[in-house]
């Protein structure tokens, strides 16, 4: 037996002699041989006779089930204890806590700074060392030219006294922008308002998801692209002011009480708890599925009995829950009964393998599930993707034809546009998957008056079920150019597509 194995066995014997609910002294806790953190996240393995925790990517290794069995009776400190976190964590809850721990140090977002600081100190740090990177209010200017060189900058802004990281990249006559929060994003969105220096004309880009800050480096594929040449033409100005506003509206305009949903997360599986909900004698709750597999409360290690939390069960009757397939593009929100009915037919459920929809337009060998296509197109074929929440710009002097895809509510749609000197042809197609389509969709085109007269032009049509490579325009909406012409400024046209679901002749957003 190696020295490492003997030490580990001696450590396990020590644990046997200590009461399960006792927080062991830190000097007795073994640490991962790779990352140096406590062995508090499974699976725990031996790699070349050295223990490795579940935080580290492991190619191979021998499991240590004996350690994990004993660890279930222990409580662990947070890895950020040296930064002030005093949380005591049961086995199985450490990883989720570490992801959201407010004491986690982060590398200063300023590109030229290598210091690591705590999130709560970032405002003071910028005020002392990076005053030139502080955004006053919520505005920044977009330069007229960039001299052919990429310019990157990360700045700090405040929203409700909370810090926001504003990433900006100027390159190729475009401004790439992203706004991020240091804490876990709670369905927040931001909008960009682009104005001329006299604030007589404006453009808007709305409902951009506010994500969590991870790294200081820039990735244009994940940032909002602003074509400066087009914007300057539309605004008829060489100087452009960008103002951002933060909103709490969800993508489908259905309010989610994110704080309440966090309280309804099961401490074991992290799924939302729905009836039946059980609790220990102290009051810690967990879902019915997890209750069947354990005998002790994961929070306090007290024996679990069949006590129901009826008060919390009644609360869930009035809570709006998101679809469990939200990460695959479904933004349905509803009460428990509505959610159960929806998830039976959710289009994101389709796991059938499909090819890339762009394959007929641009060679691509990608294959994946239907609900993952939009994510793939966004990352690898961004020029063939449009965001339902964004405005679409055309320079009519060079535009002829457009074929792009978008995702909405777990479904995939294709927008086809053809422009001639006399007319526009619009068509929005629903890309069918293997599941039966229970829903019908209708699209609405909202043209923006770029001349500042406040006129409105709204046209609509049915979304035609189709395949991804079908460019047929027989059922298109044919719009005379004379109807659209009053909304055109300097050969530029702006519009937005809204897609709505129709159930049995009843219209819902």
Q: With b meaning 16 or more CB within 10 Å and e meaning fewer, what string describes 30-49?
A: bebbeeebbbbbbebbbbee
Of the candidate ranges 316-330, 393-407, 429-443, 489-503, the one whose mean pLDDT is the lowest: 429-443
Q: How far apart are CA 3 and CA 22, in angstroms?
A: 27
- Band of pLDDT at residue 251, cut at 50, 70 and 90: very low
Task: Identify the pLDDT of residue 418.
Answer: 93
Contact 252, 198 (CB under 8 A): no
484: number of Cβ within 10 Å: 19
Do 268 and 199 share a structural domain? no
Cis check for the bond before 276: say yes or no (omega within 30 of 0): yes
Contact 90, 134 (CB under 8 A): no
Do 262 and 240 share a structural domain? no
Kindly state whether residue 275 falls inside one of the protein's structural domains: yes
SS3 62: strand
Residue 345's nearest CA partner among 436, 258, 275 is: 436
Contact 210, 251 (CB under 8 A): no
Do 179 and 301 share a structural domain? no
Kindly state whether residue 341 falls inside one of the protein's structural domains: no
Task: Identify the pLDDT of residue 68.
Answer: 85
Q: In this structure, are strands 211-212 and 174-181 parallel, antiparallel, or unpaired?
A: parallel
Dihedral class, residue 458 (left if φ above 0, else alpha if ψ from -120 to 50, else beta)? beta
Q: Rounded to the nearest 5 degrees, what angle is found at the Cα of 412, between the Cα atoms of 406 and 416?
A: 60
Q: With b meaning 16 or more CB within 10 Å and e meaning fewer, what string describes 177-208?
A: bbbbbbeeeebbbbbbbbbbeeeebebbbbbb
Q: Which DSSP string corresponds to 108-131?
A: -SSTT---EEEGGGHHHHHHHH-G
Which of 227, 247, 267 is at the close of a domain?
A: 247
Task: Identify the pLDDT of residue 321.
Answer: 84
CATH number of the domain residue 197 falls in: 2.60.210
* Chain centre distance of CA 234: 31
The average pLDDT across 82-95 equals 82
- DSSP-assigned beta bridge partners for residue 431: 412, 466
SS3 259: helix
Do 309 and 223 share a structural domain? no
Kindly state whether residue 333 falls inside one of the protein's structural domains: no
Task: Identify the pLDDT of residue 278.
Answer: 92
Of the candidate ranges 49-58, 77-86, 192-201, 349-358, the one whose mean pLDDT is the lowest: 192-201
Task: Identify the pLDDT of residue 508.
Answer: 28
Strand (E) or helix (H) holding 77? strand 75-77
Do 144 and 266 share a structural domain? no
Identify which has the larger pLDDT, 472 or 102: 472
Identify the domain containing residue 112 by its residue range.
Answer: 105-247
Split into its structural domains, the chain has a count of 4
Of the candidate ranges 145-154, 186-195, 351-360, the one whose mean pLDDT is the lowest: 145-154
Task: Identify the pLDDT of residue 130.
Answer: 92
Residue 415's nearest CA partner among 328, 496, 507 is: 496
pLDDT digits (tens, 9 = 90+) for 215-249: 888 887 778 878 787 777 767 777 888 888 887 64
CATH number of the domain residue 313 falls in: 3.30.40.10
Q: How far apart are CA 505 and CA 248, in angstroms?
A: 31
Q: Which two tokens stand for residue 371?
A: 């609900």
Is 50 exceeded by the pLDDT of residue 483? yes
| φ, ψ dihedrals at 84, nearest 5° | 115, -5
The average pLDDT across 264-276 equals 86
Q: Which DSSP string corresponds to 62-110?
A: EE-HHHHHHHTT-EEE-TTGGGT---EEETTSHHHHHHH-TT-EEE-SS
Kindly state whether residue 342 falls inside one of the protein's structural domains: no
Do 419 and 469 share a structural domain? yes
Which of 100, 135, 159 is at the close of a domain?
A: 100
Of the candidate ranges 47-61, 103-117, 427-441, 479-493, the one whose mean pLDDT is the lowest: 427-441
2: number of Cβ within 10 Å: 11
Do 149 and 289 share a structural domain? no
Kindly state whether residue 376 falls inside one of the protein's structural domains: yes
SS3 346: coil
Residue 212's nearest CA partner among 100, 325, 137 is: 100
Task: Identify the pLDDT of residue 502.
Answer: 65
Is this prediction's pTM over 0.95?
no
Do 292 and 353 share a structural domain? no
Kindly state whether residue 332 falls inside one of the protein's structural domains: no
The average pLDDT across 452-471 equals 82
Position of tokens 């100027």?
170
Give the N- to C-terminal CA distance of the chain in Å, as an integer.
Answer: 66
Position of tokens 């298109």?
476
Task: Identify the pLDDT of residue 3.
Answer: 57
Q: What is the mean pLDDT of the chain?
A: 79
Is 80 exceeded by the pLDDT of residue 441? yes
Which of 226, 247, 268 is at the close of a domain?
A: 247
CATH number of the domain residue 481 falls in: 2.60.210.10
Q: Which two tokens stand for residue 169?
A: 């990249």
- Band of pLDDT at residue 415, cut at 50, 70 and 90: very high
Do 232 and 121 share a structural domain? yes
Residue 156's nearest CA partner among 145, 168, 146 is: 168
- DSSP-assigned beta bridge partners for residue 368: 354
Q: Which residues contact 397 (CB under 8 A, 6 or more apart)?
A: 491
- Band of pLDDT at residue 417, cut at 50, 70 and 90: very high
Identify which has the larger pLDDT, 309 or 262: 309
Which burial class, exposed, middle or buried, applies to 116 when counting CB atoms under 10 A from its CB (0-12, 13-18, 19+)?
exposed
* 3-state helix, strand and coil shares in percent for the chain, rounded to the nearest 5: 20, 35, 45
Task: Identify the pLDDT of residue 376.
Answer: 85
Task: Identify the pLDDT of residue 427.
Answer: 92
Do 365 and 291 share a structural domain? no
Q: Give the number of residues written for the chain.
A: 509
Long-range own/partner contacts, residues 95-99 (CB < 8 A, 24 or more apart): 95/41, 95/54, 95/55, 96/270, 98/41, 99/184
Q: What is the CA radius of gyration of the chain?
A: 27
Contact 450, 489 (CB under 8 A): yes
DSSP state letter for 444: E
| φ, ψ dihedrals at 443, nearest 5° | -110, 150
The average pLDDT across 243-269 equals 70
pLDDT digits (tens, 9 = 90+) for 288-335: 889 888 888 888 888 888 899 998 888 888 888 887 776 665 667 788
Do 424 and 355 share a structural domain? yes
Kindly state whether residue 412 falls inside one of the protein's structural domains: yes
Q: Sign of the CA dihedral 218, 219, 224, 229?
A: positive
Do 207 and 121 share a structural domain? yes
pLDDT digits (tens, 9 = 90+) for 160-171: 888 899 998 887
């Amino acid at each position: 037996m190696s020295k490492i194995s003997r030490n580990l066995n001696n450590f396990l014997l020590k644990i046997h002699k200590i009461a399960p609910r006792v927080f062991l002294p830190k000097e007795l806790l073994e640490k991962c041989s790779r990352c140096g953190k406590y062995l508090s996240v499974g699976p725990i393995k031996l790699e070349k006779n050295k223990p490795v925790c579940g935080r580290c990517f492991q190619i191979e290794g021998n499991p240590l089930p004996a350690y994990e069995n004993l660890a279930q009776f222990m409580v662990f400190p947070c890895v950020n204890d040296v930064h002030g976190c005093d949380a005591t964590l049961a086995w199985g809850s450490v990883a989720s806590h570490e992801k959201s721990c407010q004491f986690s140090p982060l590398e200063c977002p300023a590109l030229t700074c290598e210091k690591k600081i705590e999130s709560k100190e970032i405002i003071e740090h910028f005020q002392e060392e990076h005053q030139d990177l502080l955004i006053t209010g919520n505005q920044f200017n977009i330069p007229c030219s960039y001299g052919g060189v990429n310019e990157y900058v990360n700045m700090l802004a405040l929203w409700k006294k909370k810090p926001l990281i504003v990433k900006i990249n100027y390159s190729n006559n475009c401004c790439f922008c992203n706004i991020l929060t240091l804490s876990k994003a709670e369905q927040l969105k931001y909008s960009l308002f682009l104005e001329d220096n006299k604030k007589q004309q404006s453009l808007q880009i709305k409902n951009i998801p506010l994500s969590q800050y991870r790294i200081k480096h820039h990735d244009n594929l994940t940032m909002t692209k602003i074509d400066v040449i087009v914007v300057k033409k539309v605004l008829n100005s060489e100087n452009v002011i960008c103002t951002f506003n933060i909103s709490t509206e969800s993508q489908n305009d259905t309010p989610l009480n994110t704080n309440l949903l966090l309280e309804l997360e099961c401490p074991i599986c992290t799924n939302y708890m729905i009836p039946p909900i059980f609790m220990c004698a102290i009051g810690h709750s967990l879902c019915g599925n997890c209750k069947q597999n354990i005998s002790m409360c994961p929070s306090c290690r007290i024996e679990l009995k069949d006590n129901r939390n009826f008060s919390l069960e009644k609360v869930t009757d009035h809570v709006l829950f998101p679809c469990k397939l939200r990460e695959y593009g479904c933004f349905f929100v509803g009460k428990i009964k509505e959610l159960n009915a929806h998830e039976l037919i959710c289009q994101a459920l389709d796991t059938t393998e499909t090819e890339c929809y762009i394959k007929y337009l641009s060679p691509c060998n990608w294959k994946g599930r239907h609900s993952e296509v939009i994510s793939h197109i966004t990352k690898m074929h961004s020029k063939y993707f449009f965001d339902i929440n964004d405005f679409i710009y055309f320079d009519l002097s060079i535009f002829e034809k457009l074929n792009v895809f978008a995702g909405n509510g777990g479904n995939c749609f294709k927008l086809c546009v053809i422009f001639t000197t006399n007319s526009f042809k619009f068509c929005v197609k629903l890309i069918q998957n293997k599941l039966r389509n229970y829903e019908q969709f209708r699209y609405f085109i909202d043209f923006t008056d770029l001349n500042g007269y406040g006129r409105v032009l709204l046209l609509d049509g049915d979304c035609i079920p189709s395949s991804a490579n079908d460019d047929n325009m027989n059922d298109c909406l044919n719009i005379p150019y004379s109807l659209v012409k009053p909304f055109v400024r300097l050969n530029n046209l702006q519009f937005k597509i809204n897609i709505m679901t129709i159930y049995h002749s009843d219209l819902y957003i």
